[in-house]
Structure 1
Amino acid sequence: MGTMRLRFAKNKKLMITAIILSVLFILGDVGVLFLSQASFGHIPQGKRLERIKQSPNYDGKQFVNEVETVTMTGDRSVFAVWKDFLFGDKSQTVPDTALNVIKTDLKLLPQDRDWIVWFGHSSYLLNLSGKKVLVDPVFYQGSPVSFVNKMFKGTDIYKPADMPDIDYLVITHDHWDHLDYRVVTELEPRVKRVVTGLGVGEHFEYWKYPVEKLTELDWWESVDLGEGFYVTATPARHFSGRDLHQNKTLWASFAFKSPKRTIWIGGDSGYGPHFEKIGKKFTDIDLAILENGQYNKDWSLIHTMPEYLGKEMVELGANRYMTVHHSKFCLSKHSYTEPLENAKRAAQESGKPVLMPQMGEVVYLE
């Protein structure tokens, strides 16, 4: 009897082990299939990878920040952070009613005046001396799956079909809340040129963008775009990646110079010495667009914490500012209205005007 019980227990243990392994294998297969979707893009290879290896910002395995930076800075585990993000209380972080967004006919706006229209989070359209500059357009979803990181009610009214023809599509980095696969693939026939950081062009080439449309820059690298337009990639303190491969592409900010003015496109960045460097290099910034939102003590180095926003403004020395990276997605635990209060306080600290447009509102820059 004892031998039979031992044999039964052993067989039961083997059966449970087999079931667990089968589930893991199935999940592994599902995971491989999921990650093989075109929307995840492609990590750099070939000539593009060889160019990356020559970058002073590449350590041989991945891109690195100017100063030592870890992604997670709090005392909680990554599992706890993700659990909180996915299942935590969102009563204060997500509005329970639709936000009021203005639906502007972008194709009818004047060509002879400089303006900006913000679509929420980090997506906005600029008209600079008649050229259209579209930055980080996310109009469908800000994550690999539609049920995670959903847009706030009322903020999803703009789509690629609403955009005019785009002269310069600027992508600051390849995170899902800045690079929307469906948007950029739909826009491709109407985009003349993509400006982005080293390596990000691999995604676009994989998504059937002609290589001649792609301009990939390292930090402090500049290019003459013609007709009085120049762009320089400047540093940011962040990270990159659309899948399990992290930091294979470069995150960046950009100084975009038109015949009339210089606009600084900040992208995502924690505070660091690069703000002062950029301010000293570009002393004629008319409008600086700063990240303000989705910060948290658990990742305090890779996003701008509120206490540094005014300091960044002072060090950049721009004529005026606008903050983005808020009011459309909930990626952190602060109230969805808190970034607006941060912007007001930073305006007082810097002594500079801060534009606070409604989503979809046209702001003229003259």
Structure 2
Amino acid sequence: MKRTFRIIKWITGVLFLLILLLVVATYFYMRQPQFGKAPSGERLARIERSPHYKDGRFHNRVEKPTITEGYSIIGEVYKTVFTSYPRREPGSTLPSVKTDLFKLPADSNVAVWFGHSSVFLQVDGKKILIDPTFSGKASPLPGSVRAYKGSNIYTAADIPPIDYILISHDHYDHLDYETIVALKDKVKQVVCGLGVGAHFEYWGYAPEQIIEKDWYETVVVDSGFTIHTGSSHHESGRGFIRGKSLWMSYLIQSPDLKIYISGDGGYDSRFTEMGEKFGPVDWAIMEDGQYDKAWQSVHLLPEEVVQATLGLKARNMLPVHHSKFTLGKHAWDEPLIKVSELSAGQPYRLATPMIGEVVYLSNPLQTFKAWWKDVK
């Protein structure tokens, strides 16, 4: 009995030591700058005055469980770890085009998609960069979520001076620490949701570079050129701190074009509301990928992408949030296959450029091929 007690005591001690070492290692690992900074001081005071902030965090307009009824977080984690899903990654290198962004004609209205949700816009002389992610990773855990071969051909060095960076929210696949730091001296101003500016300031951006906004506010860019902020139905947070920064959508209204940027988020009435207020929208840049029935409340399914695009009264739709990282359980090319099928016969034009291919925003005759069909 004494021997058994000693063994149990020894095992308990070893387990305690291992847990202690894990806690200490986690503590020091999460002190890395990539995890950003929680808002404090006047920034936090402004957050607390927001009508969308209560009980210590931001809330969606209509509260819904993140996990769909009939699913569970434990069950989804188990399936992710122990279940194999076919073709979650491409079997060969993705085709791409290396466009020289420095040589684009200054008077052209263009978009260049870099994979996932990163997009360069040149609109009425202004250069805008959306959710830039060039580090090749979408997670702070080493080696966990890496970019597909051929999808990460651009770096911060390939980006010209930027007038505005727009950040939809602070998840790692949209707010990439390494990219943001590398771009710092090229960026005039950053537009982001309340609280996200704490990360930028911590990473060396000057306070005057940062424009933090609540939902339904505006940024005046120039005469006749405005960026409107809108809501989304999503979440935020880096590390263990959740909901201290706001997730966003945007509507760029220039003299020539109206461009909607959905950011991440499940379907709700915001698309129809934006369509009624600003429509018809010339271009809708829509989240389409990394979805699942289990977390439908926070990510659009392909049929909802189409429904949202129709609600916006969009003339053109550019699907993003796919073809760079595996964050969902579906096949890597399923978002493109499904949205192409569902968009057939719709009143909008679907644009499916390769990574790096120039999209001419004012040319309704430009065509795009189904490039994913040639990838094994």
Q: Pick the TM interval, shorter chain.
A: over 0.9
Q: What letter corresponds to residue 245 of structure 2 in structure 1?
A: T
Count of aligned pairs between the two proteins: 361
Matches within 5 A, 1:253-332: 253-332=249-328
Paired residue for 2:110, among 112, 115, 118? 115
TM-score, normalized by length of structure 1? 0.95
Q: Distance in 2 between matches of 1:211 and 1:176?
A: 22
* Structure 1 segments of 4+ aligned residues over 4 angstroms from their partners: none
- Tell whether the 8 Å contact from 1:284 to 1:318 is kept in structure 2 after alignment: yes
Q: Distance in 2 between matches of 1:212 and 1:79?
A: 43
Q: Distance in 1 between matches of 2:239 and 2:22?
A: 16
Unaligned runs of 5+ in 2: 363-376
Is 1:66 aligned with 2:86?
Answer: no
Paired residue for 1:13, among 1, 4, 8? 8
Instruction: Give deviations 1:17-49, integer Å, cap 9, x for gaps.
Output: 111111000000011111111000011111111
Matches within 5 A, 1:68-83: 68-73=63-68, 75-83=70-78
SS of 1:126's equivalent in the other structure is strand
Identity level (%) = 40
Query: 1:337: Cα distance to partner?
Result: 1.3
SS of 1:155's equivalent in the other structure is coil
Query: 1:72: Cα distance to partner?
Result: 1.6
Is 1:98 aligned with 2:93?
Answer: yes
TM-score, normalized by length of structure 2? 0.93
Query: 1:104: Cα distance to partner?
Result: 1.0
- Structure 1's 268 and 131: CA in aligned 2 closer, same or farther, altered over 3 A? same
Q: Distance in 2 between matches of 1:9 and 1:321?
A: 68
- Tell whether the 8 Å contact from 2:315 to 2:347 is kept in structure 1 after alignment: no
Query: 1:250: Cα distance to partner?
Result: 0.3
SS of 1:121's equivalent in the other structure is coil
Paired residue for 2:122, among 104, 117, 127? 127
- Structure 1's 198 and 357: CA in aligned 2 closer, same or farther, altered over 3 A? same
Query: 1:134: Cα distance to partner?
Result: 0.4
Query: 1:284: Cα distance to partner?
Result: 4.1
Instruction: Give deviations 1:86-143, integer Å, cap 9, x for gaps.
Output: 5542541101111111111111111111000001110010001121100001111211
Is 1:37 aligned with 2:54?
Answer: no
Unaligned runs of 5+ in 1: 1-5
- Tell whether the 8 Å contact from 2:138 to 2:172 is kept in structure 1 after alignment: yes
SS of 1:22's equivalent in the other structure is helix
Paired residue for 1:351, among 324, 347, 352? 347
- Tell whether the 8 Å contact from 2:115 to 2:355 is kept in structure 1 after alignment: yes
Is 1:89 aligned with 2:88?
Answer: no
Q: Distance in 1 between matches of 2:156 and 2:246?
A: 25
Q: Distance in 1 between matches of 2:346 and 2:240?
A: 39
Instruction: Give deviations 1:202-253, integer Å, cap 9, x for gaps.
Output: 1001111000000111110112123432111101111111111111100010
2:246 paired residue number: 250
